[in-house]
Structure 1
Amino acid sequence: MVSIRAAAPLVMLLLSGCVVGPDHAAPEITLPSKFAEGSVRTSGDVSADQWWTAFNDSRLNSYVRQGLDQNLDILQAMERINQAEADVISAGAGGLPALSLGTTATRSGAKGLRGTPSTTPSVNVNGGLEGSWLLDFFGLYRRSREAAIAQLGAADAAVDTARLSLLSQVASAYIDVRYYQESLALARATLKSRNETLSLTKLQLDAGAASRLDVVQSESQVNTTLASIPGLETQYRQAAHRVATLLGMPASALLDELQRGARQPVARFNPRAGVPADLVRNRPDIRAAERQLAAAVANIGVAEANLYPSISLSGSISPSYLRRHGGSDSHLLSWSFGPSLNLPIFDGGQLRANLSASESLAREAYLAWKQTVLNAVEEVENALAAVTRDSRTVAANRATVASSQEALTLATASYRDGASSLLDVLDAQRNVSEAQTSLAQAIRQMALDYVSLSVAMGGGYAYGKAPADAKGPTIYAARTLKK
């Protein structure tokens, strides 16, 4: 028969391997095999795809590189990785032995006054070495560390999310810059055309072929165009300021550089839409939500472990030395060692309530992950629906511009010959202006929809990162938890 003394170490060993609470498993969700207007071909890993190069704009490419290096949101998110790494160490430290050392030294005595004898000076030296170790029988600290590692993965994914957001914001702001520059160019061309019409109308008035009403109407069109230009200039500057701020620069830093205009960006190829299942791998916000779920599941184990007894081993060694002047020295070594048991018996239901709250938080985290996935699918579906139709809108607007310009030419020639009224010319000018504006807006929207689809697919955030950086903390967490 095995004695209690022999069996105790075995029981302790078995208990030390016990970890309460559920283990995290990758969440699952049922997704369609393809997007409504997509193909069944997977896009693979698009995290490093440089989709913005489809615009063939070297300045935009430069701004993207600068933004990924200098954007303050990204740099703040990177600092949160450092904090999460420190939290991992802090979470695991509670399950390790703690040791502290302290010492004091004093010299004391008293000087006698008015006949009172002086006391002999003495030197007193005390030291102390104290140690403690909470035996983590039920995995309290192991689950805490598991949760901290999951939060580290979430912090890493948050950096990627910030990088993806930066790509979207820089590209969109740059598209706006070029759109407002195009709008200003169109407005100035319209102003020139209407000034020419005004001059022609005045000549017609002098020749008796036009009325004062015609001149006033022509002047009204000129002033209307003049009134639209300041607002466009303001919007251009605001878009340029936005680009600079995203790059971590003062707002007006890029005004002179961007003033050297360029064409409106037009993507030269379509992005790969892939299939819905690709999003779980490519979208960093989905990865962050999954890591948050893993942390919430680990915290269930932390709450459950608090329901069980805990045993701590503690001890101390305290040497002391006392020396009196002219007297004998004394040396003393005191020590103590022993376990302490903490057994929760009655707490008014607090610990059970904490466990129930932790379980609810884990369920909430799963629902948040599921919502993140479904939102990502919706974003791709919306962007894909827009991208597949934008080219038709642009083509129709180009045809409208060509037709309205031809109509303006015919109306102007007819007015010079006296065969039509000024109203025909003004209507034709207005139609040209509206058609050109609609075309510029359609080109802008086509570019923005291309950006939206590329970002919705999770493309480009890993550009410029070392291969080990893209998913480093998550891989580290998985590797650590297997040990």
Structure 2
Amino acid sequence: MTPSLCTRIPSLRYATSALTLLLAGCVSGPDHVPPQTPLPAKFKEGGGKSHGDVVTAQWWTAYRDEQLDSLVAQGLSENLDVLQAIESINAASANVTVAGAGGLPSLYVDASHTVSGEKGSERTTIGTTNTTGGEASLSWLLDLFGQYRRSRESAIASLGAAYATADDAKLSFLKDLVSSYVDARYYQQRVALSKANLKSRQETYELTQLQLKAGAASRLDVVQAEGLVRSTKADIPGLEQSFTVSAHHIALLLGMPAASLMNELQRSAGQPVFRGDIRAGIPADLIRNRPDIRKAERDLAAAVADIGAAEAQLYPSISLSGSISPSWVKSSGASGGTLTSWSFGPTLNLPIFDGGKLRANVDIEKSDAKTQYLAWKAAVLNGVEEVENALSAVRHDAQTLEPLRRQVETAQEALALSTTSYTDGASSLLDVLDAQRSVSDAQASLAATVQQVAKDYVDLYVAVGAGYLSRQAPVASERAAKSG
């Protein structure tokens, strides 16, 4: 029913039935309609099959790292950002009650007892009066045009946004934790490779010293070998520091003091390698699965409801109020008596001239709703972009792994051959040193690519909105996100 129809109450004799209809179905402003925007049928480098609801998909288990699984399980219940976001749901839930309370009757009861009297010059009590009274006050603002119903709709939508915000905090936590774990293992691998290379270069340096004593090497050879040893030693502290920083950040994500996990993480488990399938789904899946998009949609729903609440203030409002105040009075030397006063009546508030304030409030809410729609559309397009970028990164970075593994093997073979040739006196030390650098560079490139591919999968599954809810959790949050 539109506001114009709501104002057409035919006559006083139909007031009761008309009032009933008004209270039941007359609401100002537009109803929220789920927004839409054109999307491609599939991602450019993805398939055309929808994978449906992926919010409970535990994609990180595809790394087959039990320690990582344990950290994720612990962090989802202990991360401070997640806990703060969850706590905000309680406030949003209370706001639903506050928003709807204005349209309900309110009853207040007061009670009092007083003793009064007078004293003369002889300090004698001339008269004492005991008065016991109470008052019950009832008021009810009739929500004829749905101001409070729209406010409650807005609060319910904001509650859904609070749930989505908590889900988004969990998704951000997953990305941060798994990426930090991948980084920690990468630096750990680099330290291990550097120490292995240091051992090899130390052996070359010692061999060069022996050959110098035998007259088969020059002082320049010794200095070059020693320089490579020292440069390798210089790399290790920086890598160890980077590992420490990553470990400290993981502890922070779990709500623990910085050094709490150092001993646990120092037990090397190798670099994580994703061994699962690519499940990107289709662009339409993002609207359901990504919490930032759901939050934007709920924010839009709240803004649309606020339009109705603002429009309702343009029309007359009626409030019913009444009170009853019984009192019992007894004076000294007299019998007590009861006095009761009461009042009841309606109050009409008719906005006639307000300098355009109420109409401007409607315009403000309409503008806010348009802004929220644009924010929702931007969130959708941003989600599509993130998935497209992640798919491209996964496919292209993964293609470099096998060539890099082969490059490491050939560099190691070249090092072995050059070392043998140098020991036999058939080649120079420079060939050995170059081969050692090639091995070190190839190993570092391979480790960095393994790290990047592992993080590409993190980016992909976070981009599609996967894994932030346990298998028992989605019902409540989904209901709150879609209600209103």
The interval holding the TM-score normalised by the smaller chain is: over 0.9
Distance 1:395 1:307 in 2: 70
Residue 469 of structure 1: CA displacement?
Answer: 2.9
Pairing partner for 2:69 from 41, 50, 61: 61
Residue 327 of structure 1: CA displacement?
Answer: 2.2
**Structure 1, 3-12 or 83-92: larger mean CA deviation:** 3-12
- Are 1:289 and 2:310 an aligned pair? no
- Residue matched to 1:139: 146
Q: Secondary structure at the match of 1:469?
A: helix
Residue 98 of structure 1: CA displacement?
Answer: 0.4
Residue 419 of structure 1: CA displacement?
Answer: 1.9
- Give the percent of matched residue pairs that are identical in Structure 1 and Structure 2: 58
Amino acid at match of 1:333: T
- Residue matched to 1:49: 57
Distance 1:140 1:11 in 2: 18
**Structure 1, 300-309 or 119-128: larger mean CA deviation:** 119-128
- Are 1:371 and 2:378 an aligned pair? yes
Residue 209 of structure 1: CA displacement?
Answer: 1.5
Aligned 8 A contact 2:321 2:344 in 1: yes
Q: Secondary structure at the match of 2:400?
A: helix
- Residue matched to 1:10: 17
C-alpha deviations, 1:345-402, integer Å up to 9, x for none?
1211111111101000000000000000000000000000011112211111111111
Distance 1:233 1:4 in 2: 85
C-alpha deviations, 1:285-308, integer Å up to 9, x for none?
111110110000000001111111
Pairing partner for 1:106 from 104, 111, 114: 114
Aligned 8 A contact 2:187 2:240 in 1: yes
Q: Secondary structure at the match of 2:276?
A: coil
Distance 1:298 1:469 in 2: 22
**Structure 1, 234-243 or 441-450: larger mean CA deviation:** 234-243
Distance 1:363 1:98 in 2: 36
C-alpha deviations, 1:242-275, integer Å up to 9, x for none?
1111112221111101111011010112221111
For residues 253-264 of structure 1, the aligned pairs below 5 Å read: 253-264=260-271
For residues 109-124 of structure 1, the aligned pairs below 5 Å read: 109-113=117-121, 115=122, 118-124=125-131
Structure 2 alignment gaps of length 5 or more: 1-8
C-alpha deviations, 1:304-355, integer Å up to 9, x for none?
1111111110011011121111124232100111111111112111111111
- Residue matched to 1:75: 83
Residue 183 of structure 1: CA displacement?
Answer: 0.5
Amino acid at match of 1:395: E
Pairing partner for 1:465 from 472, 477, 482: 472
- Residue matched to 1:345: 352
- Are 1:359 and 2:366 an aligned pair? yes
- Are 1:92 and 2:100 an aligned pair? yes
Distance 1:116 1:50 in 2: 86
Aligned 8 A contact 1:29 1:370 in 2: yes
Residue 189 of structure 1: CA displacement?
Answer: 0.8
Pairing partner for 1:150 from 153, 157, 165: 157
- Residue matched to 1:183: 190
- Residue matched to 2:414: 407
Aligned 8 A contact 2:290 2:465 in 1: yes
Question: Would you say how many aligned residue pairs link Structure 1 and Structure 2?
Answer: 475
Aligned 8 A contact 1:270 1:450 in 2: no
For residues 217-256 of structure 1, the aligned pairs below 5 Å read: 217-256=224-263
Distance 1:270 1:388 in 2: 12
* Alignment RMSD (CA, Å): 1.5
Residue 140 of structure 1: CA displacement?
Answer: 0.2
- Are 1:301 and 2:301 an aligned pair? no
C-alpha deviations, 1:168-210, integer Å up to 9, x for none?
1111111111111100001101111111111011011101121
Pairing partner for 2:403 from 393, 396, 399: 396
Distance 1:40 1:231 in 2: 45
Distance 1:399 1:207 in 2: 37
After the TM superposition, list the runs of 4 or more consecutive aligned residues in structure 1 that deviate by more than 4 angstroms.
2-5
Distance 2:461 2:107 in 1: 54
**Aligned in 2, Cα 1:327/1:384: closer, same or farther, shift over 3 Å?**
same
- Are 1:318 and 2:330 an aligned pair? no
Aligned 8 A contact 1:462 1:470 in 2: no
Distance 1:225 1:461 in 2: 42
Structure 1 alignment gaps of length 5 or more: 479-483
Residue 472 of structure 1: CA displacement?
Answer: 2.9
- Residue matched to 1:481: none
- Residue matched to 2:5: none
Aligned 8 A contact 2:387 2:464 in 1: yes
